[in-house]
Amino acid sequence: MKCIYDLDQWRELRQTDYNSGSLGFVPTMGALHKGHLSLVQSSIKDNDFTVVSIFLNPTQFNNPEDYRTYPRTFEADKALLENEGVDVLLNPNYDQLYSDEYKYNILESELSKQLCSSSRPGHFDGVLTVVMKLLNLVQARYAYFGEKDYQQYLLVKGMAQAFFLNTEIVPCPTVREPDGLAYSSRNRRLSPKDRLKAPLFYSLLKSELDPKRIAVELKTAGFKVDYVEEIGHRRYGAVYAGDVRLIDNVIC
């Protein structure tokens, strides 16, 4: 596995070593888990080459404390990716990706104003901006996104279509722990007590209760509820277990 830290080096390699055959891409913020690895495995299965990026993107954090406490496990992540057979690990720094100091950014005016936006203003502006940068840099045929962040997936897919990007955005099913909790990098920050009750979030979300009743049950169980809403044929939820924010969604 090649570890690339310099974007000029990557651009050169993209034109020489990876200009033939299909290229798959998995963008991440690190702290990798089985959910991330399922994306990697899909890319490796579908493509001749796979690139994974690790970049903890500060522009999508409205809460500086959340950014500060986000798990950073680069060496362990690197070992996992090498073991999976990833061809390239791209690990740029902030100054490279944001040489404009975030003066230019991508805005979406409809879906990004719903659900997570109420408690995380500016979050999706940062997500879409960094994803656009990475998609333009990698120039992959396919890019893989988990359905746990379904709102994010829809926004990225819409952006790629709106700007005529050549990369196809591929959704991958949510991967869950045996008790139903969706894998997330934030799960490792849960206290033992909160980890025990966390699976109730998914259990209630997929129940036949209506969203208002689910919210009541979650609050009774000790969660702080951000939202439980249905849009189309999907039910979305976001809660806090202690100070850890969890999101999930189910088809309804």
Show which residues are catalytic.
Answer: 36
- Tokens 């005016």 sit on residue: 109
pLDDT band at 116 (very low <50, low <70, confident <90, very high): confident
How buried is residue 158: exposed, middle or buried, by Cβ count under 10 Å (0-12/13-18/19+)?
middle
Q: Are strands 168-172 and 224-231 parallel, antiparallel or unpaired?
A: unpaired
Q: What is the DSSP string of 12-46?
A: HHHHHTSSSS-EEEEEE-S---HHHHHHHHHHHHH
Neighbours of 182 (CB within 10 A): 24
The pTM score is 0.96
What tokens does 246 get?
Answer: 């969890």
Where along the chain do its domains lie? 2-172, 190-245
Predicted confidence (pLDDT) at residue 146 exceeds the cutoff of 90: yes
- 11-43: pLDDT as tens digits: 999 999 998 899 999 999 999 999 999 999 999
Which CATH code is given to the segment(s) 2-172? 3.40.50.620
pLDDT band at 117 (very low <50, low <70, confident <90, very high): confident
- 159-199: pLDDT as tens digits: 999 999 999 999 999 999 999 999 999 999 999 999 999 99
Return the pLDDT at 118: 79
